[in-house]
Chain A
Amino acid sequence: MNTEQSKPLIELSHVTKSFPSMSGNFQALKNVSLKIGKGQLVAVTGKSGSGKSTLLNIIAGIDKPTEGQVAINGIRVDKLSESELATWRGKNIGVVFQFFQLLPTLTVIENIMLPMDFCNRYPKNERRERALVLLEQVNIREQADKLPSALSGGQQQRAAIARALANDPPVIIADEPTGNLDSQTSAAIFELFAALARSEKTVIVVTHEKDFADYFKDVIVIADGAIVNEFVPA
């Protein structure tokens, strides 16, 4: 998967991100360069405020670097406009949040069909079937027509993962996806991510959970905005 020969799916070159603050510019990321290949399951760890989420936001196109380049699947994400980013993100990045962030007035299956609607992916009459397949994949097919509030935390996170997969993006990004779940449920979620990586999805997970280190061959440790471990690039 992450062979020397294969072209990296995600490539960050000398990325710096600064935020203006009362006491001058604060550098959240300092000259970060990294490469992640197709099918890699990568953990990003570090202390609170170290720059993990900023790194994820930059990869997902949620935030733009102050300096440096970000290329995903050969596309210079840092050059896209907000509108282009929205469409690109919908098709290429699946995002999983810590608090699930399912839209409360839509049923589980409708939450999963929504990205297909926004990105106009898959014919209309196939969307429901695809959403059911994804729910099957995350083991909550029977919850399809319930509102998110009727689901447990774990089930909601599974639904959120199914939603992230809706448009079949090559990259899944999860920001502390188990931060709100018990250890048993967390294990199931990590297992799900591992399965996705095995099916050639690139999965990047921000996590504090040391108990699940076994799932990850690749770990990026960030401290004060810089990668401090010996991360093996793609």
Chain B
Amino acid sequence: MPLAESGPPMADRNTFRLMLLILGVVFAFLYIPISVLVGLSFNEGGLPTAWTGFSTKWYGALLENDDILKAAGNTLIVAVFSTLLSTILGTLLAVGVEIRRRNGKWLETVIFAPMIIPDIVLAIALLSMFSLMGVKMGLHTIIVSHVVFNLAFVCAVVRARLKSFDWSIVEASADLGGSTLNTLRRVVIPVLMPAIIAGALLAFTLSVDEFIIAFFTAGAGRSSITLPMQIFAMIRFGVTPEINALATLVMSVSVVALALSQRLNKGGLPGQ
């Protein structure tokens, strides 16, 4: 029987079986709902009542739905721009914070807050500010709002990497006459690159998936609707095979991006 080298004690074979049972139940709970969804998206009849054969026709139907294509386009614009902005801002913040070291509690709180502040609160706060200032809302307001939480996540990923950063190479660069900007550009950034890309991928998926803040800061009208907003509207009308297909696609994008992010930056995701 395999024994753990550390961790909780393993009494006997029966306990080990119980552990396997628990894992089976929890993983079934986590994966059955998603699997059913993915399975149904390939069901020709489209109904959960009967399997009528494998088909990708519901994916084809998505490509003919102008609302969905428009929403996908908007989501891409929002995700790309908010990722670019938050990657630059978050990386600079992380480097600054780690060089400075003696950071007050208020600073840590401000950097940490965007990750824990409830979406609904940030969403109404931004909506209130934009409308009181008379800002016309649209994709641009979604982008700047997404940067708020995205930059915090990029910063967290890059900071995790900086904990094991060898600052002596920075000194070496300075000793060799490198200016601050050159040192940053030629030494610090290249070393951090895997973490920066991992952070950017994380920001990208967070932005693609984000619903509540986009919903509140998109302004009136359908012109700046994003994919999650479109999905939310569709779900409220009920279960359709198109939603199954769309949901499967959206889920795959997140999983691929996160698997890549994880690969680039082992164990660097916040919370791990």
Our verdict on whether A and B bind, yes or no, reads no
B residues apposed to A, CB below 8 Å: none
Interface residues, chain A, with chain B CB atoms under 8 Å away:
none
